[in-house]
Homo-oligomer: A and B are copies of this chain.
């Protein structure tokens, strides 16, 4: 069949070129967008979503399609709806327990980490270049808040996400913010089911703090270095606690 033919070592890029095309439907993308936003705490429990008629307009999809997504998220326990005037669709409180990572997700956790490394380091550099004092202050406040949550991972994690997304917002690029939330979503699927001793969180937040300092000094090199170290930390924890480390 396809022996050594055209490409032996000529780049895995050609294999990727002809890799399966996976067209995501509007329904799927909607479930994923809202689902990860909820799981990440970007939409805190109790939040009320915009009315269906408004939301479908904003998302540029039909109401029936949006509905499918809302029903799906309702059945998984992430949303619940109340009818009548003053009703609406709300983020569940409390949220359902997180699902354990699927074998698919576990299988390429290293790819996920690589992806994260690429996105976050680049963002850290850009953020360092552009950081405005006011926005850095906001991040620093976050770090202080997080310091008091080191023994409660379920409270810690949403603020951690907020920190990283905030970093992306610092770049002023909507694209990068989107990529950061996607990346954080992928990471959450991995880390929400492993142990996080306070010492580890403490060390992580210390890196947050050093990152803030680098941002304030517009020190791109330091930002890159601290971020790399920060992510390697997570990677080592995962390597130790996931099957086949």
Contacts and interface: CB of A to CB of B under 8 A. Distances in A.
Interface of A: 6-7, 11-26, 29-30, 33-34, 37, 42-43, 47, 50, 55, 58-61, 111, 114-115, 117-123, 125-126, 165-166, 168-169, 171-179, 181, 220-221, 224-225, 228
Contact of A118 (B13, B17, B123): B123
16 contacts: A11-B42, A12-B177, A13-B181, A17-B43, A18-B55, A18-B58, A18-B59, A20-B59, A21-B59, A22-B60, A115-B173, A117-B125, A118-B118, A118-B122, A220-B225, A221-B221
B23 A224 contact: no
**Chain copies in the assembly?**
2
Given A20-B59, A23-B23, A228-B125, A114 B175 contact: yes
Contacts of A14: 42
Q: Lowest 5 CB-CB distances: which A-B pairs, in order?
A: A118-B122, A20-B60, A121-B122, A114-B173, A122-B122
A118 B127 CA distance: 10
Contacts of A122: 117-122
A228 B37 CA distance: 31
A120 B117 CA distance: 11
Contacts of A177: 12-13, 16
B119 A12 contact: no
A13 B169 contact: yes
Given A12-B174, A114-B175, A126-B118, A17 B29 contact: no
A16 B165 CA distance: 12
